[in-house]
Amino acid sequence: MFPVVFMELICAGVAPGKAAVMQICGDNNRCHVLHIIHSGIPKNLQCLLEDPSSMKVGVCIANDATKVLQDHNVSINSLGELSDLANQKLGGDLKKWSLSTLTEMIICKQLPKPNKIRLGNWEVEVLSKEQLNYAATDAYVSWYLYQVF
């Protein structure tokens, strides 16, 4: 099972650009960061994303799936919303959780989200080490939270 997390380009003060980076984490040992703004989505990844037997999870994942369909013409099936899973697990009032808040609430750790990286240029030719770490960490945390739920 490969939970999938997406990150789209975010630029301060302008409309969001094309989905630039996709992160995939399927186990405790490895996360993949794909710079799809330059490479597109390879056929084997498209097959995985469209496979209804493989769950793809994340926070606001339906929005990400819509963005990937618009930008890359790939339909993503079998979506699992981490906010919904958290609400089922925790009970109480229904909330729209962020990945940071879920991380603090469920595993008592802070998820660093520095604006310098989060709002940086994800369309650059080569992602920085900080961008790669940020993207891989988001993917891993989403996978880990899914395992906890």
- The full set of domains in the chain, from first to last, is 4-148 (3.30.420.10)
Mean pLDDT of 57-86: 91
Residue 1 has pLDDT above 60, yes or no: no
Mean pLDDT of 110-132: 91
Report percent pLDDT > 70 for the chain.
Answer: 89
Residue 21, SS3 per DSSP: strand
Give the distance, in angstroms, between the CA of residue 20 and the centroid of all CA atoms in the same chain. 12
Cβ pair 38, 71 in contact under 8 A: no
pLDDT for the residue 129: 96
Residue 120 has pLDDT above 90, yes or no: no
Mean pLDDT of 55-63: 90
Cβ pair 8, 64 in contact under 8 A: yes
DSSP annotation of 120: S
Least confident of 2-6, 31-35, 52-56: 2-6
Mean pLDDT of 18-41: 88
10 Å Cβ neighbour count for 112?
11
Tokens of 47: 């097959």
The whole model's pTM is what?
0.85
112 CB-near residues (< 8 Å, 6+ apart): 134, 137
Mean pLDDT of 81-98: 90
Cβ pair 149, 89 in contact under 8 A: yes
Residue 111's nearest CA partner among 86, 64, 79, 145 is 145
Tokens of 73: 């013409």
Residue 6 has pLDDT above 70, yes or no: no
